[in-house]
Amino acid sequence: MPAGKNFTPKRLKVLKYHRPLFTSGTRFSNQSIIDGTHDTYLRTYADAVKLFGKPLFIRFGHEMNGNWYSWDGTHSGGSTTTGYGDQSKADGPERYVDAYRYVWEVFESRSVTNVTWIWCPNADNVPGQAWNDMLNYYPGDEYVDWVGIDGYNFGSAGGGWRMFSNIYTTPYNKVKGYGKPIIIGEFASGESGGDKAAWITDCFSKLKTTFPQIKAWVWFNVNKETDWRITSSTAAQTAFRQAMNDSYYIGKITVFGDLSGSTGMRGFRIVESGHVQTPSPHLLFENRRSTATLIYLLSGRTGSPGFVTGFAPAYAVLR
């Protein structure tokens, strides 16, 4: 089995950096990918990943069942059926599937074997119409190594207070039938509208007892739409620290070391250790082309180390 595929990591380090495969905008659309507009860029990116050599997770075109990215179904034809491909299928999901496969095939054509591919819909379908169901975007088992889900408790910032199970039960039950390991690609809770510390405690308890197929998670550790950070309050930070004391979550990092000279991954170096005071050490990485770049250990039981690209600044733990 190639090193980047469905391994269960023993000491899986996750590097998040602001050099995504694609960024949202009119320059990068599903149709422009399908048309080959970005072939040179994709081949160059794939070759750099191959030269890097270490296992790398790529989450391509996440939250495609939302309506806020240039690669989502809404911006790719939506529910229309006459503008692209099979007229029995909605154009939006069909274009996305073809673009995802196209990118995957470019990496295959460059003999890249160290990538683990993550397909990652949003927890809620937005809009909540039949054509936009997350399952319509699934590119096929051959193209997906891990399944992801993104979902947040916005609280008073939008949508009301939602407990972890309320956000994740429906999408989890939808995608677990694929038989793939599941990663929460992005999640967090706001402070306003409820008790964030209690939310954190409940969340990590539910991950252990109710969602066994979720093998990894990434906490969106940013003050953005609301204060998602683990350190948004002393109570939230204490709850997180206590949750990580559970042996279900591994809290020791083995560091690869300075990445600034790594082939295909230049521009990164460790600048700080112990960034957040929890039982688990954290490592802050600096991307010399961007700010707010943070990594954290994904822990596990057996396998090989790996890195992730395409994630927002976050903490992550894998059991």
d(CA 14, CA 305): 8
Give the pLDDT score at 261.
Answer: 40
Determine contact, residues 244/278, Cβ cutoff 8 Å.
Answer: yes
Task: Tell me the two tokens of residue 160.
Answer: 């009301």
Confidence grade of residue 94 (pLDDT, cut at 50, 70, 90): very high
Determine contact, residues 190/196, Cβ cutoff 8 Å.
Answer: yes
Give the pLDDT score at 21.
Answer: 60
Residue showing tokens 């170096």: 269
Who has greater pLDDT, 10 or 216? 216
Instruction: Encode pLDDT of 127-140 as tens digits.
Output: 999 999 999 999 99
Confidence grade of residue 20 (pLDDT, cut at 50, 70, 90): low
d(CA 285, CA 64): 28
d(CA 211, CA 127): 26
What residue spans define the domains of the chain? 11-318
Of 59-68, 239-248, 258-267, 297-306, give the range with the top mean pLDDT.
59-68
d(CA 136, CA 98): 12
pLDDT above 60 (res 305): no
Instruction: Encode pLDDT of 236-245 as tens digits.
Output: 999 988 888 8
Looking at every residue in the chain, the average pLDDT score rounds to 76
Q: Closest by alpha carbon to 70, among 99, 124, 101, 27?
A: 27
Give the pLDDT score at 193.
Answer: 97
Cα 309–311–313 angle (5° rounding)?
Answer: 120
Residues 6 or more apart in contact with residue 142 via CB below 8 angstroms: none
Helix (H, G, I), strand (E, B) or coil at 144: coil
Give the pLDDT score at 270.
Answer: 30
pLDDT above 80 (res 204): yes
pLDDT above 50 (res 258): no
Who has greater pLDDT, 303 or 174? 174
Give the pLDDT score at 26.
Answer: 56
pLDDT above 50 (res 209): yes
Give the pLDDT score at 219.
Answer: 85
Q: Rounded to the nearest 5°, which phi and psi values hold at 14?
A: -120, 120
Cα 256–261–267 angle (5° rounding)?
Answer: 100
Rounded to whole angstroms, what are the CA distances from 73 to 158, 171, 257, 258, 313?
22, 18, 40, 39, 25
Give the pLDDT score at 247.
Answer: 78
Residues 6 or more apart in contact with residue 110 via CB below 8 angstroms: 43, 46, 47, 50
Superfamily of domain 11-318: Glycosidases (3.20.20.80)
Percent of the chain with pLDDT over 70: 70
Range of weakest confidence among 85-89, 147-151, 167-171, 272-276: 272-276
Looking at the DSSP bridge assignments, the partners of residue 314 are: 220
Who has greater pLDDT, 93 or 301? 93
